[in-house]
Amino acid sequence: MSEAKRRSAPLQGRDLISLAQKLARDAERHAILSASLASQADRLMVAGLEQLNHKSQVSRHKTGPRIP
């Protein structure tokens, strides 16, 4: 069966299974990428908070304790 005829015909069982497998692989890659990005965002957030905390401690040390 030619590719043109096959594309114009409704999807057959094997085609549906193949498409489902491709979608599942794409979803898995997306999930892995999302988890990786979330992990990187967490690390950046912690690094930023540590820097702010360090700057705050240095500032307090130079100016003395803050009186509320």
Per-residue pLDDT of 12-67, as tens digits, reads 999 999 999 999 999 999 999 999 999 999 999 999 999 999 888 877 776 666 56
Q: Which residues 6+ apart lie within 8 Å of 28 measured at CB?
A: none
Instruction: Find the largest Cα–Cα distance for the chain.
Output: 84
CB atoms within 10 A of CB 48: 10
pLDDT tens figures, 38-51: 999 999 999 999 99
Tokens 């304790």: give the residue.
65
Question: Strand locations in 10-67, DSSP E?
Answer: none
Q: Where are the domains of the chain?
A: 25-60
Distance CA 10, CA 30 (A): 28
Instruction: Answer whether 0.85 is exceeded by the pTM.
Output: no
The answer to whether the beta carbons of residues 45 and 51 sit under 8 Å apart is no
